[in-house]
Amino acid sequence: MYKVNNIRVSLDSQLTKAHIAKKIGIGENYIDSFIVLKKAIDARKKSDVHYAYTVAVKTTKKISGYDIFNREEYKFPKGKSLDNRPVIVGMGPCGLFAGLVLAEAGYAPIIIERGADIDTRKNKVDSFWKTGELDIRTNVQFGEGGAGTFSDGKLNSGIHDKRCQFVLDTFAKYGANEEIVYTAKPHIGTDVLAEVVKNMRNAIIDNGGEVRFQTTLTKVITRNKKVTGIIVKNENEEYEIETDKLILAIGHSARDTYSMIKNIGADMEQKNFSVGVRIEHKQDMINESQYGTFKKYLGAADYKLSAHFDNGRSAYTFCMCPGGVVVASSSEEGTVVTNGMSYSKRDGENANSALLVNVTTDDFGSDDPLAGVYFQEKIEKKAFKLAGNSYKAPAQYLSDFIGTKASTKVIPTYKPGVTFCDISKVFPDFVTDTLKKSVLEFDKKIKGFADGGAILTAPETRSSAPVRILRDKESLMSNISGLYPAGEGAGYAGGIMSAAVDGIKVAEVLVKE
């Protein structure tokens, strides 16, 4: 098969053999078959928005000037047998994919997850958004599927790894829309993702793995800096599990577990990250700006913006959710945290994204490896107070924040509701100043971005982990032998795709070690 890219197709048509034949410059009858490798929207010229396809095509005659296409199928490596069952802590994308590949390879992993299964979790999260009563065990950060389950399920990522295609194929195999395997910006949508996670869980169990929900890792037992077992706690009891292979895929919100890992002497270091707000606009304004008159053919548009300032500060938009909502993402009492999500149809009235400012380890104010976590916590607690000691969120229109005129008023989507106030009160001044500058800067790229009717909801503090649990580059083990820090919480991933890939990588070395 030959790889042919940049095949232009207008927005109101489907890709056909004729398009491919025209691109190659041969007769349509020489095209035997083709598979789509990539489908992207080319909106660089607003007067000429169209689809751009990459395909692998089988022709009945030799053609020149095109690379031969070979799809490299991902295969989990054959490893040695293990003395005891590997244990995985956390069932986010990292733990889930580590568990799936280990189970399919016959290692019968045990996965422990402090939160509940997905169905129970959905009820608890819905109830929190309705009533404002938080369950610190099962919420948007904790539970089956991890942080990414109540999300837009965007799968695009900056990493280029051969395992990425395997992750996409696996999500499609377990129920995601097939298009994700070739769409330039694949997304699953929270409504579909929940089912996909459940199907993957059942596949792990069918292949001899085991999943223990509402079971929290409370202690790692070591002898001579080597893992020999763990203590876990569920609703009824605390007990030990013997193991010398422990994958720690805990995410960035398990602050109690971070402290425990620090106290057993695992090497950790501070890590730069970002904080800010969620900004909401009318989705139609974004569609108009990104697609112009072509918007009628296309779904909700997205955007990605960044700005760097002379004082070394920068701001950027992150985790943009087209046609989505801002969600209450607290996992700890007395803290307010925002994030965003979309349903698979992305048909909500508003567009939202995180608007973040870079925070460096110099801003943490102490050498403690967990100082960044305390920096986050301080902002989240201030927000809880400012919102009236509730899980409502502080919010402010741009007209009040930067004094711009409002052409239309955006209705905030955050549930259980917002408290209008001066949001700068939750942030250090450098964050507020940079946010104000960035909105005006972004208005130059998307007209209307700084409209006074746009709304800010605060605070977005869990953009990534402010700490890294150190590991050896080859063995991926920490200074505690048998402990494998992995995923976003350990500081080796940012997003669903890179977390899943890191889980697979750690599972590979674990069986090869």
Ligand X SMILES: Cc1cc2nc3c(=O)[nH]c(=O)nc-3n(C[C@H](O)[C@H](O)[C@H](O)COP(=O)(O)OP(=O)(O)OC[C@H]3O[C@@H](n4cnc5c(N)ncnc54)[C@H](O)[C@@H]3O)c2cc1C
Q: Give the residues lining the site for ligand X (CB under 6 A).
A: 89-95, 112-115, 140, 142-143, 146-148, 150-154, 216-217, 249-251, 254, 257, 319, 327, 329, 339, 341, 487-489, 493-497, 499
**Shortest spacing between CB 421 and ligand X, in angstroms:** 23
- Cβ atoms of 320 and 303 within 8 Å: the answer is yes
Residue 490 CB, shortest distance to ligand X, in Å, is 8
Least Å from the CB of residue 100 to ligand X: 12
Give the nearest distance from C-beta 56 to ligand X in angstroms. Answer: 27
SS3 content of the chain, % helix, strand, coil (to 5): 30, 25, 45
> Which is nearer to ligand X, 152 or 451 (by Cβ)?
152
CB of 333 to ligand X, least distance (A): 16
Amino acid sitting at position 120 = T
Q: Is the dihedral of CA 140, 144, 145, 151 positive or negative?
A: negative
- Tell which residue, 5, 24, 13, 57, has the closest CA to residue 184: 5
Closest distance of CB 99 from ligand X, Å = 11
DSSP string computed for 105-127: TT---EEEESS--HHHHHHHHHH
DSSP 421: S
Which residue, 49 or 320, has its beta carbon nearer to ligand X? Answer: 320
Please report how close the Cβ of residue 418 comes to ligand X at its closest, in angstroms.
17
Position 492: which residue type?
Y
Q: Are strands 87-89 and 246-248 parallel, antiparallel or unpaired?
A: parallel
Q: Find the distance separating the first CA and the last CA of the chain, reported in whole Å.
A: 37
The Cα–Cα gap between 29 and 21 comes to: 8
Residue (327 or 418) nearer to ligand X, CB: 327
| Nearer Cβ to ligand X (256/288) | 256
Closer CB to ligand X, 90 or 453, in the complex: 90
Nearer to ligand X, 482 or 489 (CB): 489
Give the start-end residues of each E strand in 208-293. 210-213, 216-223, 226-233, 238-242, 246-248, 268-270, 273-282
Residue 96 or 387: the one with the smaller Cβ distance to ligand X is 96
Helix (H, G, I), strand (E, B) or coil at 312: coil
510 touches 247 (CB < 8 A) = yes
Q: Is the peptide bond before 416 cis (omega within 30 degrees of 0)?
A: yes
User: What does the DSSP 8-state code read for residue 371?
Assistant: H
d(Cα 95, Cα 18) in Å, to the nearest integer?
44
Collect all residues with Cβ–Cβ distance below 8 Å to 225 and sequence separation of at least 6: 265, 479, 480, 481
Min. distance of Cβ 342 from ligand X in angstroms?
8
User: Residue 459, preceding bond cis, omega within 30 degrees?
Assistant: yes
- Min dist CB 441 to ligand X, Å, is 24
Sequence letter at residue 450: A
- Which of 493, 504, 511 is closest to 148 using CA atoms? 493
State how far the Cα of 101 lies from the Cα of 168, in Å rounded to an integer: 14
Sheet containing strand 226-233, edge to edge, reads 216-223, 226-233, 238-242
Query: Looking at beta carbons only, is 412 or 487 nearer to ligand X?
Result: 487
| Cβ closest to ligand X, residue 92 vs residue 459 | 92
Identity of the residue, 240 or 422, whose beta carbon is nearer to ligand X in the bound complex: 240
User: Least distance to ligand X from the beta carbon of 340, Å?
Assistant: 6
Closest CA relative to residue 355, chosen from 340, 341, 344, 345: 340
Taking the least distance from each CB to ligand X, the nearer of 322 and 453 is: 322
CB atoms closer than 10 angstroms to residue 84? 14
Q: Which is nearer to ligand X, 210 or 288 (CB)?
A: 210
Least distance (Å) from ligand X to the CB of residue 151? Answer: 3
Q: Which is nearer to ligand X, 154 or 313 (CB)?
A: 154
φ and ψ of 260, to 5 deg: -60, -45
Shortest distance in whole angstroms from residue 160 CB to ligand X: 15
Q: Which of 80, 78, 1, 73 is nearest to 35 (CA)?
A: 1
Neighbours of 371 (CB within 10 A): 17
User: Measured from the CB of residue 419, what is the shortest distance to ligand X in angstroms?
Assistant: 20
